Amino acid sequence: MRSKDRISYFYDGDVGSVYFGPNHPMKPHRLCMTHHLVLSYDLHKKMEIYRPHKAYPVELAQFHSADYVEFLHRITPDTQHLFSTELAKYNLGEDCPVFDNLFEFCQIYAGGTIDAARRLNNQLCDIAINWAGGLHHAKKCEASGFCYINDLVLGILELLKYHARVLYIDIDVHHGDGVEEAFYFTDRVMTVSFHKYGDLFFPGTGDAKEVGEREGKYYAINVPLKDGIDDTSFTRLFKTIISKVVETYQPGVIVLQCGADSLAGDRLGCFNLSIDGHSECVRFVKRFNLPLLVTGGGGYTKENVARCWTVETGVLLDTELPNEIPENDYIKYFGPDFSLKIPSGYIENLNSKSYLTTIKMQVMENLRCIQHAPSVQMQEVPPDFYIPDFDEDEQNPDERNDQHTQDKHIQRDDEYYEGDNDNDHMDVP
């Protein structure tokens, strides 16, 4: 048990001042509300607060295609009418509109997650928080689901420079498709997503049968849920699965996406979680005492988002917060009762015990297919990671490196690495 966790918290006020447009459910203003609530409870006195650097285009292009990054950099509301072909190509439009300061917004939230990963890598903190991050739907070459740059993938790529295995956990109501897709072919990252699935619910992926492919087979875990899941069912399932995942996979670091649209009463959600239920997941993950990167994500009833992420900041600081919200710049949003906690919801729970048992057994079966993490400690930092872009026709199985050759390729972080099998397999007798 660590004596006292060192927490780094990333925030830039400019991230909350952008506007997606009228009637758009994404309100970055919720980030200002969260920050002021954190301040009103004096939580800033127990953490190191940092303004993140604005991620450079070349940093964003560690995952995203350079042409997509360049287009995001260039496009403005005044010029978008000239680029209808590109807008369609990059999926910019209704869900992902072009707005003033779009690129700077992406640079700030992505910079926060990259900085958080770097501080963890350098052992300057035990837990790093970036509530502005967690935009898990963005793809390599396109925007999706209100997400333009996938800060989580960029943060995980950074963590992979120092950690053999990264565990990604997602409790947003929507499937963490962009992160899963990025690491679908590798065993260096295990993705675990708990989400609503079915009824054409966005993004339409995340069936339990999606388990990863090739080197990554069984390293993607999906927990598809139906409407109305409550605190008891959700937290029980979460704890059972995550315990087994950590025991089996033995990650060196955990990334936890805390989308707050899984809360009861969310404008786009359909679960019954109270803040107590949602934050219990954060408390549980913290108990593993592994380096932990925590982000925000979805959340469209903004006063509840602010409540949730403030409570979860308290959880990460081992600080119980009084239920009466202190005076702050946004106090009027928390009326009429000005209380911190919100109760669970009243949507009918369509997740029967037998359904949840079936899902749990499926996940446990997939975990049994995974070899336990190597008992041999990796003495050196794994090489800089790249995301394999597989082309069936070009892959020649005879060109696979054997383990000895692969081991010789492990180099220092600052050396160029070019290998086609960057996975953490070891044949341990």
CB 2 within 8 A of CB 287: no
Look up 278 and say whether it is catalytic.
no
Burial class (CB in 10 A: 0-12, 13-18, 19+), 86: middle
DSSP state of 144: B
Q: For residues 81 and 374, give the distance between their C-alpha atoms in angstroms, rounded to a whole number.
A: 54
Peptide bond into 397 cis (omega under 30): no
Q: For residues 370 and 365, give the distance between their C-alpha atoms in angstroms, rounded to a whole number.
A: 9
* Interacting residues of 321 by C-beta distance below 8 A, sequence separation 6+: 41, 310, 311, 314, 340
CB 254 within 8 A of CB 292: yes
Name the binding residues for substrate. 95, 145, 300
Q: For residues 394 and 24, give the distance between their C-alpha atoms in angstroms, rounded to a whole number.
A: 43
How many other C-beta atoms lie within 10 A of the C-beta of residue 310?
Answer: 26
CB 166 within 8 A of CB 148: no
CB 252 within 8 A of CB 289: no
The tokens of 273 are what? 């979680």
The tokens of 411 are what? 């180099």
Q: For residues 372 and 253, give the distance between their C-alpha atoms in angstroms, rounded to a whole number.
A: 16
Q: For residues 374 and 252, give the distance between their C-alpha atoms in angstroms, rounded to a whole number.
A: 12
Amino acid at 132: A
* CA nearest to 215, candidates 382, 364, 371, 361: 371
Which stretches does DSSP call E strand in 259-396? Answer: 292-295
Q: For residues 13 and 56, give the distance between their C-alpha atoms in angstroms, rounded to a whole number.
A: 19
The tokens of 61 are what? 């292009």
Q: For residues 379 and 395, give the distance between their C-alpha atoms in angstroms, rounded to a whole number.
A: 30
CB 189 within 8 A of CB 183: yes
Which residue, chain included where needed, has tokens 């295609």? Answer: 65
Name the binding residues for a divalent metal cation. 172, 174, 261
The tokens of 226 are what? 């139906």
Q: Which residue among 137, 163, 175, 278 is the active-site one? A: 137
Active site residues: 137
